[in-house]
Structure 1
Amino acid sequence: MPVYEYTALDRAGKTKKGILDADSTVAARQKLRGSGIFPVEVKEALSKPKGIPSGPVSLIGLLKGVKPGEIFAMTRQLSILLGAGVPLVKSLEALISQITNSMLQKIMAQIKESVNEGNSLAFSLSQHPKFFSNLYVNMVDSGEASGSLDVVLGRLAEFGEHQQALRGRFKAALAYPAFMSLIGTVVLFFLITFIVPNITKIFTDMHQTLPL
């Protein structure tokens, strides 16, 4: 089933944007009207987002337009929903409605559609290798096979969040010596440019030799 992007007006006249799946543009407009909003523009979403850089990463690619933290937050939310007994497709639908990043929203809508067609979540994720690494997909596959998908997703989220925190601490640890080096360079420049010439001038005016 195709995925459509829409711009619509709610009953208060406020503009709303999002995505939904429907059989056609007409069906998408009908679905929007049925939910109480007036469609202004409805167009089919791109089947594959553009502008995604390539390159290996430890868990999830650092993607243009999608922060790793957003992926980890989505993973944790999905874990919580599944742990509460919400079916997978319904959980994905709930996630899509909460995601504010349009690129990630499109990807998750395509994943939900793939799952809805009978594919496993791991297979659906594997269709987006720039977003989800082999490690991520394989762990999800193991979770589905063992019936503990919510637990595995929770561990993935914890692992990703730990990576983020570790990276933040590493950057903070590097920031202090870099700052001190900058201060030292500024002080040295000030001494060479202003202080040393003035001292040299004083000794010259006194006809004294500058001590070494």
Structure 2
Amino acid sequence: MPFFAYKARNARGDLIEGIQEGADSAAVADMLFNNGVTPVEIAVSAKGPGTQGESLLERMQRQRITSVDVMLFSRQMYTLLKAGVPIMRALGGLQESTHNNSMKKVLQDTRESLDSGRELSAALRRHPEVFSSFYVSMLRVGEATGMLEEIFLRLFYYLEFEKSTRDQIKAAMRYPTFVVIAMTVAIMVINLFVIPAFAKVYKGFNAELPLMTRILIGASDFTVHYWPLMVAVVVGAAFAIRAYLRTPVGKYQWDRIKLRLPVVGSIIEKATLARFARSFALASRSGVPIVQGMGVVAQVVDNDFIARKVDDMREGVERGDSILRTAVATGVFTPVVLQMIAVGEETGSIDDLMQEIAEMYEREVAYEVANLSAKIEPILIVGLGILVLILALGVFLPIWDLGKVALHK
């Protein structure tokens, strides 16, 4: 997505400048409004935050700031602030101790912003590629309530859960991915080298070949003669799909399809809803109003389809509907979750119930991820068996027919 340079004013009227990534200027304006600032000017920026004055080589060599870096930053800030260390000294110590040069630059820019009179949340908002709008909004609430160190600790646990879920899914998908890649390479080698060798042998027999053998030879001939075109089509399709998925419509459609994928769709949906519930509980416990909290949470669920549902919930609450009624209208929550929302709304402990919903979804995600390989392995075995059967029939049927002819003679 493109970057936009913006000028805005906060609640005190101070002018804030920065760069924000977004689908368009309207999306950036919505993000700024949700963060409690009023945009004055928004223009397309050719460079992202932190890239000004850098050459192409410097940008290529720049170290990437990972979620682990942000997680460690949150934990260390909590420890330092709880010990009574001033923010400027804490940032200075972290800047000296970090081994990530990109993080050093971010912390240096943050310190300079604090020197110029900005709040910590406003300083970190200048780096949206590192600190999400949800992260910044939580810090802004912590500054307003005097619970900044507690917010850093809650954000650390939130980021830790996010990383743990991603690592579990990656670990579960590692073996199936390896098998699929190996099968693809094997098919290409067989089409390019093995089948052509057998085709030369069969051609000398001057006999009619079985249908399966003719299909394999035809596919092999096509691959041998047109493999550059096939590679070009695959690469072009990959770039076209990637470009489409970067558009708002494309991303929304893909996020909607992901939730309906076999085997992994339910995991993605439950992980997304767990992220929503945990984020909502964190925002509510930190003192963020429900409507504003839903607006912020919609930006961090990492799924445009679910985000649209959360926005619908926010609009319903603004109209005076209950959280339960708006949750039912979305059609994405299970009856158990809806019952918990109803109890939480009646007792005034919606944050505690949302936390329990998050933990329930997290347990289900952990269980399904642990059994993901067991679900995928039979599919891979069946696919590999079908591939071997097709190759065996195509390669050995002619040999079998020739053997029977020789026996009859």
Say which structure is richer in helix.
Answer: 2
Partners of 2:118 and 2:125 in 1: CA distance: 11
Question: Structure 1 or 2: larger strand share?
Answer: 1
Q: 1:182 to 1:195 in 2, by over 3 A?
A: farther
TM-score, normalising length from structure 1?
0.60
2:400 to 188, 202, 208: 202
Q: Displacement of 1:156 after TM fit?
A: 0.8
For residues 183 and 114 of structure 2, the distance between their equivalents in structure 1, rounded to whole angstroms, comes to: 58
1:171-207 per-residue CA deviation (whole Å, 9 max, x = no partner) reads: 2233343344456665555554467523531342222
* Distance of 1:198 and 1:133 partners within structure 2: 59
**1:29-44 alignment, distance < 5 Å:** none
For residues 64 and 96 of structure 1, do their structure 2 counterparts lie closer, same or farther at Cα, with a shift above 3 Å needed?
closer
Q: 1:129 & 1:205 partners in 2: Cα distance? A: 71
- AA aligned opposite 2:400: I
Structure-2 separation of matches of 1:73 and 1:141: 19
What residue number does 1:154 align with?
153
Mapping of 1:38-57 within 5 angstroms?
A: 49-50=50-51
Cα distance between partner residues in 1 of 2:63 and 2:393: 48
How has the CA–CA distance of structure 1 residues 129 and 182 changed in structure 2, closer, same or farther, with 3 Å as cutoff?
closer
Across the two proteins, how many residue pairs are aligned to each other? 150
C-alpha contact 2:125 2:133 (8 A) present in aligned 1: yes
* Counterpart position of 1:106: 105
- Runs (4+) of structure 1 moved beyond 4 Å? 180-196
Tell me the secondary structure at the aligned position of residue 405 of structure 2. Answer: coil
* Cα shift readout 1:137-192 (whole Å, capped 9, x = no counterpart): 11001111221111101111111121111111122233343344456665555554
Unmatched 5+ stretches in structure 1: 1-47, 52-62
| Bigger shift: residues 144-153 or 123-132 | 123-132
Q: Does 1:71 align with 2:269?
A: no
| Alpha-carbon distance in structure 1 between the residues aligned to 2:63 and 2:95 | 19
Amino acid at match of 1:50: T
- Aligned AA (1:127): R
Q: CA deviation at 1:97?
A: 0.4
Identity of aligned residues (%): 28
Aligned AA (1:173): A
Q: Distance in 2 between matches of 1:184 and 1:92?
A: 50
Runs of 5+ unmatched residues, structure 2: 1-48, 53-61, 187-383
Give the structure, 1 or 2, with the largest relative contact order (CA under 8 Å, sep 6 or more). 1
Alignment of 1:146-185 (within 5 A): 146-182=145-181
* Paired letter, 2:128: P
* Distance in 2 (alpha carbons) for counterparts of 1:151 and 1:172: 32
Distance 1:126 1:79 in 2: 19
CA separation of 1:183/1:102 partners in 2, compared to 1, >3 Å: closer, same or farther? closer
Within a 5 Å distance, the mapping from 1:10-25 to structure 2 comes to: none
Distance of aligned partners of 1:128 and 1:183 in 2 relative to their CA distance in 1, 3 Å threshold:
closer
Q: Which residue of 1 aligns with 2:135?
A: 136
Rounded Cα–Cα distance in structure 2 between residues aligned with 1:126 and 1:202: 72
Tell me which residue corresponds to 1:121.
120
Deviation at 1:127, TM superposition (A): 2.2
RMSD: 2.8
Partner of 1:38: none
- 1:35-89 CA distance string (max 9 Å, x none): xxxxxxxxxxxxx5218xxxxxxxxxxx972212211111211111111211111
Which TM-score applies when normalising by structure 2? 0.33
What is the identity, as a one-letter code, of the residue corresponding to 1:49? G
